[in-house]
Amino acid sequence: MVGWSKSNENLNQFDFAFAGGASGFITRAICQPLDVLKIRFQLQVEPISHRAIHNSKYRSIYQAVGLIVKEEGVKAFWKGHVPAQWLSISYGIAQFWTFEVLSRNVHKLTNNSNNVKPVINFACGSIAGSVATVVSFPFDVVRTRFVAQSEQRKVYHGMVAACREICAKEGPVVLFRGLWPTVLQIGPHAGAQFMCYKLFDDFYKRIIKAENTTLSSSLFAGSLAGLCAKAFIYPFDLVKKRLQVQGFHHARKHFGQTFHCEGLIDCFIRIYKIEGIPGYFKGLYPSLIKAVCATALHFSSYEMVCKLLVVLKETH
């Protein structure tokens, strides 16, 4: 269903947007705890180490889960879930709608030539990811602030209140802080996701000798696509999170050393000076776990919703 095919030619643009939004909602609801873990690791300046001299708050996935439950309760894993849902829904709508519209138009020009399919999927996916990022980015900033704040020093108590306070104290432009590294990250990331998804999906269908995409092929292709895409662009994701919490250090004293930077390049340089090369990959393991689960869910739920819409249209 992802990309042009005869099976989804009866679906319109609204159908693609609805399926994308539903996919974003389902994926976020299930994978939010992994996102919280990833962000906590990304924002920690101290090394992720068991050595006492480093005085690290979070030292491993298992230890971090236990500490968050002990200090903040299980509900902390869904901290910032409302803005995160707005982020995922708006991103899913914009991403899949843009990809489907672009791929349909390109199909008319290329007649769906197999020789250029990977390039087309990468290009359409990159554009779709970039558009979706710009549309959904303010929700990402607010979500990061909610996850970053401590239960002992709450600053924001609701999404609307958070947006008002950020705009009043720091200016509306802050809602787009970190946009540049995010676009640099998401463009090739989304392109790689769509390209790898289609390649792995076709490979799986050839192995099992099936013509149409199934739930199992979608989960298989989505998980591998998420793993491959995330591994290559991870440092940009970490830098984005560091930029999004600039000016928010007063609420993060409970988490250890704070981090100050001035822009994208300065952020990369400071991370290297203070934390070294490993600093660019903090939170990589929970991020890869999340990427595998989230991408598999994202694509498979989109495929299933599209199939359901096709069935509903045929029965009416």
pLDDT tens track for 113-161:
666 788 888 999 999 999 999 999 888 888 877 777 766 667 777 778 8
Q: Nearest 5°: CA angle at 217, between 212 and 219? A: 135
Phi/psi at 45 (5° precision): -80, -40
Hunting for tokens 């000076």 — which residue is that?
273
The lowest-confidence range among 40-44, 80-84, 247-251, 273-277 is 247-251
Nearest to 94 by CA among 123, 125, 53: 125
Alpha carbons 245 and 44: distance in angstroms, whole number = 12
Is residue 276 over pLDDT 60?
A: yes
Is residue 13 over pLDDT 70?
A: yes
Q: Which CATH architecture describes the domain 6-307?
A: Alpha/alpha barrel (1.50)
Q: By percentage, how much of the chain surpasses pLDDT 70? A: 88
Sketch the domain layout of the chain as residue ranges. Answer: 6-307
Which CA distances in Å does 53 have to 4, 46, 48, 50? 56, 10, 12, 9
Residue 186: Cβ within 10 Å count: 29
State residue 249's pLDDT score: 58
Nearest to 225 by CA among 205, 201, 197, 204: 197
Helices (H) and strands (E) in the chain, counts: 9, 0
Alpha carbons 99 and 306: distance in angstroms, whole number = 14
State residue 54's pLDDT score: 58
State residue 197's pLDDT score: 92
Hunting for tokens 């640099």 — which residue is that?
184
State residue 50's pLDDT score: 64
State residue 162's pLDDT score: 81
Alpha carbons 108 and 120: distance in angstroms, whole number = 12
Alpha carbons 228 and 99: distance in angstroms, whole number = 20
Average pLDDT estimate for 227-235: 84
State residue 251's pLDDT score: 53
Average pLDDT estimate for 105-117: 71
Q: Which two tokens stand for residue 296?
A: 């598999």
Name the H helices within 111-171: 117-148, 159-170
State residue 113's pLDDT score: 61
Is residue 290 over pLDDT 70?
A: yes
State residue 194's pLDDT score: 92
| 8 A C-beta contact, residue 46 and residue 64 | no
Alpha carbons 145 and 270: distance in angstroms, whole number = 21
Is residue 253 over pLDDT 60?
A: no
Q: Specify the higher pLDDT residue, 134 or 178.
A: 134
| Three-state DSSP state, 158 | coil
Average pLDDT estimate for 1-22: 80
State residue 190's pLDDT score: 92
- Tell me the pLDDT band of 7, cut-offs 50, 70 and 90: low
- Tell me the pLDDT band of 200, cut-offs 50, 70 and 90: very high
Nearest to 245 by CA among 232, 257, 233: 257
Alpha carbons 62 and 58: distance in angstroms, whole number = 9
Q: By percentage, how much of the chain surpasses pLDDT 90? A: 20
Mean pLDDT, the chain, rounded, equals 83
Encode pLDDT of 49-83 as tens digits: 666 545 778 888 888 889 889 888 888 888 778 88
Q: Which two tokens stand for residue 19?
A: 């399926």
Average pLDDT estimate for 245-263: 67
Nearest to 20 by CA among 121, 145, 117, 136: 136
Average pLDDT estimate for 203-220: 85
- Tell me the pLDDT band of 26, cut-offs 50, 70 and 90: very high
State residue 238's pLDDT score: 84
How many angstroms from the chain centroid is the CA of residue 125?
14
